[in-house]
Amino acid sequence: MGTTQLETVPEPKYWHLKTVLGEALDSDFAVGEILPNERDLAARFGVARATLRQALEQLELEGRLQRRRGVGTTVAPPRVGVDVSTTQHEWPGAAKDAWQLIDCAVAAAPAPVAKLLECATDDEVHVVRRVRVTHGQSVAAELLYVPASSVPELSAIAGASGPVRARAVLRELQRLALDSQDRAVELGSARADDAKELDRLPGAPVLVVTTRYIVEGRPAAVSVATYRADTCRLTFGDSGDLEISDHPEERRAS
Amino acid sequence: MGTTQLETVPEPKYWHLKTVLGEALDSDFAVGEILPNERDLAARFGVARATLRQALEQLELEGRLQRRRGVGTTVAPPRVGVDVSTTQHEWPGAAKDAWQLIDCAVAAAPAPVAKLLECATDDEVHVVRRVRVTHGQSVAAELLYVPASSVPELSAIAGASGPVRARAVLRELQRLALDSQDRAVELGSARADDAKELDRLPGAPVLVVTTRYIVEGRPAAVSVATYRADTCRLTFGDSGDLEISDHPEERRAS
DNA sequence: GAGTGGTCTAGACCACTTA
DNA sequence: AAGTGGTCTAGACCACTCG
C-alpha cells in the first residue's frame, strides 16, 4: 500500500478552472486584452462566482491577470525583472537608482526594526519614504530607518521637511564607509499606506526585501522595501548579463 | 478636493479582523498553541465563516498561522531563515548543502526552461529532483534541468535510475568550470507535485528561485527551486554574519 | 447610471485526522 | 464517529470607474 495513491481524489473545481483558464490565456488572449466579467465567466463554466474568483485570484497571484475594480480583468504583461542586486556595497540614493523620495519623518523605532538595528525600541530614527518606479509604474515602496545616532550631523537642519529632509539624510548616510550588508526576502501583505503607493488594495501580496547596512561592524540603517509580488520578479545579477529579455509574451500552446 | 481622502471608507471586516487576531496572537498565544476552530471563532466575532477565513488566510500568508485539515489552526513559529546566497560560485551538490536527492528523469525541456537555457523546446534534458530539509522540515523542492549536451559523458551510465542517476548527473556537472550564475526570485503557487513534497496543498504560495548556471558564457543548467513562502525567509548573506538570531518569538505588544 | 470587481452571508457537503 | 479545515453555492450589497 504505497503512500502515493496519486489522484484518486477529484481535483478541486477552482484548480481545474485555473488550469483551463491559464491555457486559454496562452492560446486565445493577447496581453492587455479584457476578459469577460466574472458573472459571465462563472455562468459559462457552470460554477458559482466565488469559485470562479478563487481561480482568478490564483492567476493574479501568478502574475497572469490583473484585476481592477470598476474596470475589469485584463491579461497581465509578463513580470518585469527588477534588479535588487547590491552592485558592490552601495548606499541607497547613490548613483542612478530608480528611487523617488517622498518624505521623511522622525519616530520611535518599531520593535522588529529596533531588533535589526540592535537598538532600543524607543530610540529615535529618521524614517525616509521612497518609491521605486520602473517602466512608468510604481513597483516598490520603501521605508528606510536611520537611527539618529548614525547621522549625528543632521540635527542642524532638523527644520527642513519632506523630500528636502529626506535628501539630507541620504546625503549624510553616503558619507559613512559601508562595510557590508545582509539581506532577506520574504512574502508579506501590503500595509494600507504601502498599498496606496503601489496602487493596490491593502493586503495585496508583496515581496518584502529587508536590507541591513553595516558600518564599522554595527548596523547603521535598515531598509524595508515592499515590491508588488504580482508584477515583479526580483533579479540578483551575479553575472554580467542579467535582465535577460525572456519576454514570453508570444507564449503559445499551439 | 485632495485625492487623499484618507479612511473615509469603512475598513473591510476581514481586514479589521486580521488586525485584531494578529494582536491577540502577539499577546495571548504561544507558538504552537491551538486556536479555537473556525466556526467558533466566526461566531465569537459575529461574522460568517468565509469572512473569518479570509482573515486567517492573510495571517497564514504572513507566516503567523499554520492550518492543517483535520487537525486545526496553530500559531506558527517565526519564519526560518534559509540561506540562498551563492557562496562563491558553486555547483549544486557541492560541499555540505542541505539538499536531498529524490530522482532523475529525462524529458524534453519545458518552454520557459528551454528559453532560459537558450536551447530548443524539444531538446532532451536531465531533470534532477531534490528536496531541501532544514530543522527537520522540508522547505523547498527543486527541479534541476541539465541539457544532455552539458554532460556528454553521462550516456555511459544511462542505465542507472533514481537517486543513483541523479548523483551521477551532479557529479558530471561539478567537473565543469562555473563562470557565474544569475538568479531571480518571484512569487508562485505550488504545483501538485511540489505541494506534495512540501506537505502543502496545491496552490500554496511559494517563492520561486530560478538560477542559471553559466559555463563558458553559455547557460549549462537551470534550477527552479520552490520554497514554502509561509515558513521561509530567504537570506542572502552578503556579509559574514548572516542568519542573525532575530527570533521574535517573544514579540509582545504590551 | 450602468457595469465592474470587492465584500459578506448562511448555509451545505467533502476530505482529512484523530481517537 | 467526531471534529477539523477545504470547497462550493446562490444569493446580496458596496465601492469604484467611466461614459
Q: What is the pLDDT of residue B254?
A: 28
User: For chain A, how many structural domains are there in total?
Assistant: 2
Q: What is the pLDDT of residue B158?
A: 59
Residue B99, domain member (yes or no): yes
Domain that holds residue B69: 13-75
Both A65 and A172 in a single domain? no
Q: Which residue's CA lies closest to nucleotide D10 at its C1' atom?
A: A48
Contact A41, A50 (CB under 8 A): no
Note the Cα A241 to chain centre separation in Å: 23
Contact B216, B179 (CB under 8 A): yes
Q: What is the pLDDT of residue B243?
A: 41
Would you say how long chain B is, in residues? Answer: 254
Q: Grid coordinates standing for A172?
A: 549624510
Both B171 and B144 in a single domain? yes
| Segment A93-105, tens digit of pLDDT | 766 668 889 989 9
Residue B150, domain member (yes or no): yes
The nt closest to B53 (CA vs C1′) is D5
Residue with cell 485539515: B69
B interface mutation test: which of A115, A236, A244, A247 has the most B CBs within 10 A? A236
Out of A111, A189, A238, whose CB is closest to B180? A238
Last residue of a domain, one of A23, A48, A75: A75
CATH number of the domain that A131 lies in? Answer: 3.40.1410.10
Both A231 and A114 in a single domain? yes
Last residue of a domain, one of B75, B100, B128: B75
Q: How far is the CA of A196 from the C1' of C11 (A)?
A: 36
Residue A231, domain member (yes or no): yes
In angstroms, the CA B94 to CA B103 distance is: 17
B interface mutation test: which of A180, A238, A251, A252 has the most B CBs within 10 A? A238
Both B141 and B183 in a single domain? yes
Q: Which residues contact B106 (CB under 8 A, 6 or more apart)?
A: B124, B125, B126, B127, B148
Judged against a pLDDT cut of 60, whether residue A5 lies above it is answered with no
Both A147 and A175 in a single domain? yes
Q: How far is the CA of B26 from the C1' of C4 (A)?
A: 38
Distances (CA, A) of B233 to A182, B58, B74, B227: 13, 17, 19, 9
Q: How far is the CA of B161 from the C1' of C10 (A)?
A: 54
Both B108 and B70 in a single domain? no
| Segment A217-229, tens digit of pLDDT | 999 999 999 999 9
Both A48 and A123 in a single domain? no
Both B55 and B161 in a single domain? no
Contact A232, A221 (CB under 8 A): no
Judged against a pLDDT cut of 70, whether residue A119 lies above it is answered with yes
Closest approach of chain B CAs to the CA of A155, in angstroms?
30
**Which amino acid does the sequence have at B163?**
P
Q: What is the pLDDT of residue B85?
A: 84
Residue A111, domain member (yes or no): yes
Residue A3, domain member (yes or no): no
DSSP percent split of chain A into helix, strand, coil, nearest 5: 30, 30, 40
Cβ contact, residue pair A233, B79, below 8 Å? no
Q: What is the pLDDT of residue A155?
A: 63
Cβ contact, residue pair A182, B244, below 8 Å? yes
In angstroms, the CA B84 to CA B226 distance is: 12
A27: three-class secondary structure by DSSP = helix
Out of B61, B111, B202, whose CB is closest to A189? B61
Q: What is the pLDDT of residue B152?
A: 82
CATH number of the domain that B44 lies in? Answer: 1.10.10.10
Both B66 and B90 in a single domain? no
Closest approach of chain A CAs to the CA of B155, in angstroms?
30
Q: How confident is the model at residue A72 (pLDDT cuts 50, 70, 90)?
A: very high
Contacts of B79 in chain A (CB under 8 A): 186
* Contact, B201 CB vs strand D, < 7 Å: yes
Q: Grid coordinates standing for B156?
A: 555511459
Residue B217, domain member (yes or no): yes
Contacts of A237 in chain B (CB under 8 A): 182
Both B30 and B150 in a single domain? no
Show the low-confidence residues of chain B (pLDDT under 50): 1-7, 239-254
Both B114 and B39 in a single domain? no
Count how many pairs of residues, chain A against chain B, have C-beta atoms within 8 Å: 129
* 108-127 of B, contacting A, C-beta below 8 A: 111-112, 115-116
Q: Which residue's CA lies closest to nucleotide D5 at its C1' atom?
A: B69
Q: Which residue has the higher pLDDT, A58 or A253?
A: A58
**How large is the average pLDDT for residues A153-176?**
79
Contacts of B58 in chain A (CB under 8 A): 189, 203
| Segment A20-66, tens digit of pLDDT | 999 999 999 999 999 999 999 999 999 999 999 999 999 999 999 99
In angstroms, the CA A29 to CA A24 distance is: 7
Both B202 and B97 in a single domain? yes
Q: Which residue has the higher pLDDT, A85 or A79?
A: A79
Last residue of a domain, one of B75, B99, B116: B75
Q: Which residues contact B76 (CB under 8 A, 6 or more apart)?
A: B31, B60, B63, B64, B65, B66, B230, B231
Residue B250, domain member (yes or no): no
> In chain C, which nucleotides are within 7 Å of a protein Cβ?
2-12, 15-18
Residue B21, domain member (yes or no): yes
Contact B150, B117 (CB under 8 A): no
Using a 7 A cutoff on CB, list residues near strand C.
Answer: A 9-10, 35, 37-40, 49-50, 53, 67-73, 201, 203; B 12-15, 46-51, 54, 68-71
Cβ contact, residue pair A63, B187, below 8 Å? yes
**Which amino acid does the sequence have at A163?**
P
Out of B81, B183, B248, whose CB is closest to A236? B183
Cβ contact, residue pair B203, A240, below 8 Å? no
* 193-252 of A, contacting B, C-beta below 8 A: 202-203, 205, 207, 214, 229-230, 232-242, 244, 246, 248, 251
